Chain A
Amino acid sequence: MCGLCGLFESGTHWADTRGVAAAGPPRQQRLRQVGFANRILRHYRLRLDDWQGRNYLLSSPTGATEVIDNLALLWPAAERIAGKPCDPLDPDLLLSLRGE
């Protein structure tokens, strides 16, 4: 736990970039990760923000917000808030990604 802010260490997730592709400082990599996630989440009208470099804030246009620890927990939370499945095989999603 961080002694200053009281946040618990959420542990390293397998998809964490650190140690796999060390291109740039961890904070920069994290922001890049948030940027990529937002390009997907846009399809569901959701937004992800980094929170203290340790957690993420997932929010909807109506103000629904969840704090999540890692990428694996992002998608169940996104489905809860969006009220529909977030399926990477969904042709509509792939079509919207192609249009970017």
Chain B
Amino acid sequence: MTVRTLMEAVPVTVLTGFLGSGKTTLLKRLLHGRDLSGTAILINELGEVGIDHLLLEHVDASTVVLESGCICCTMRNDLSAALRELYGKAERGAIGALDRVVIETTGLADPAPILYTILTDPVVTHHYRLGTVLTTVDAVNGMRQLATNPESIKQAAVADRLILTKTDLVPPAAVAGIRRALAALNPTVPIVDANPDSVEPEDLFAAESFDPSAKAAEVRGWLTEESRHHADHPNELGRHAAEITTFHVSFDEPADWTMFGIWLTMLLNRHGERILRVKGILNVIDAPAPVCINGVQHVMHPPFHLERWPSNDRRSHLVFIVRCMDGASIRRSLLAFLRLAAGEPGRLRHAEDCRL
């Protein structure tokens, strides 16, 4: 087998969402609507509808828990084996060229182990890269599911795209309500309406593009004024969601990447289970362009440079989605570490200190 560069690696799209939220329907529509002929599907429950496509694999749920014992660091050996087998088949010519893999998770799945496997399995990372995480949310039952099921909150927090389904079955006010709730929970991602048939694959997969302008547009969307406005609304989703806090840290002075890496690895080691998402854009000392980071619990995507700053704002911005954690203490800690690297206690100014 040949080892691919990151750009050549096959993107793996993770399609998640709670039970009955319309994952299979969305997948079926995507597959029938556009030419996704090089797409292989891995599904870890047998769907109700037949998928007339290149391949349909059934992944058994055998898992191995690593030493840390954290669920997000669970290596899905079944998934790893399925991805390796799929790649082997494509290399041998047993199936057509492999352009993309879509993994449809079970409705009750915590998606973090799947992301961990794709990002860290030594064989899988040679051939695949994590593409977009798509999360479907049902407009009829979504509010109740978010209020009562921690898994559904996790699925929404790790998403790169939130896809609202069944919006034609509820009044517009209810759709607006769930949009507000989702924007408060995960303000950095677009919320796409799946109805009517308006979902285009290119919209859903834009987050994984290597095209510099598409990347810049994606990152610009992470921290818009609108997302801050939406997130100002208090969380009204119930007990589980009330434990979730979304907050935003900004600072003026360029950050030392080495110290930032030390701080974040230390933070994720101790509190990774409660950090559902960390995402942002950093002004790094000696880097000509901003560096973007994106992580889920203990798992970090490889950081990437933008070609240029997406706007005139040269500050660093980080967004955290955390469970039962105090945002102020995270801010205080980050700034203390960065000041230590800067060597001058007063040098790093705290430009903005707002709860999203």
Contact = CB atoms under 8 A, between A and B. Distances in A.
A13 B182 CA distance: 32
Contact of B262 (A11, A29, A36, A85): A36
Interface string A12-53: 001111001111000001001100110110000000000000
Given A15-B262, A71-B265, A74-B265, A36 B341 contact: yes
B122 A15 contact: no
B332 A94 contact: yes
B199 interface: no
Interface string B25-62: 00000000000000000000000000000000000000
Interface in B109-142: 122
B269 A22 contact: no
Contacts of A72: 265, 268-269, 298
Interface residues of A, number: 31
Contacts of B284: 20-21
Interface centre among B265, B298, B341 (most CB of A within 10 A): B265
Given A20-B287, A75-B265, A76-B68, A32 B258 contact: yes
Interface residues of B, number: 39
Interface in A46-100: 71-72, 74-76, 79, 85-89, 94, 97-98, 100
Contacts of A76: 67-68, 269
A29 B258 CA distance: 8
Interface string B298-313: 1011110100000000
Contacts of B298: 72
Nearest to A95: B336
A76 B291 CA distance: 27
A34 B192 CA distance: 45
B4 interface: no
B263 interface: yes
A21 B259 CA distance: 12
Which secondary structure dominates where chain B touches chain A?
Answer: helix
B64 to A, nearest CB: 18
Nearest to A76: B269
Contacts of A17: 257-258, 261
Contacts of B266: 40, 75, 86-88
B333 interface: yes
A88 B267 contact: yes
B205 interface: no
A39 B258 CA distance: 13
Contacts of A74: 265
Given A14-B302, A15-B261, 19 more contacts: A15-B264, A17-B258, A20-B257, A20-B305, A21-B256, A23-B285, A36-B262, A39-B340, A40-B262, A71-B262, A72-B268, A72-B298, A75-B265, A75-B266, A76-B68, A87-B270, A87-B271, A97-B340, A98-B336
17 contacts: A11-B122, A14-B261, A17-B258, A20-B287, A20-B291, A21-B285, A21-B286, A33-B261, A36-B262, A72-B265, A75-B266, A76-B67, A87-B266, A88-B267, A89-B270, A89-B333, A97-B336
Interface of B: 67-68, 122, 256-271, 284-287, 291, 298, 300-303, 305, 329-330, 332-333, 336-337, 340-341, 345
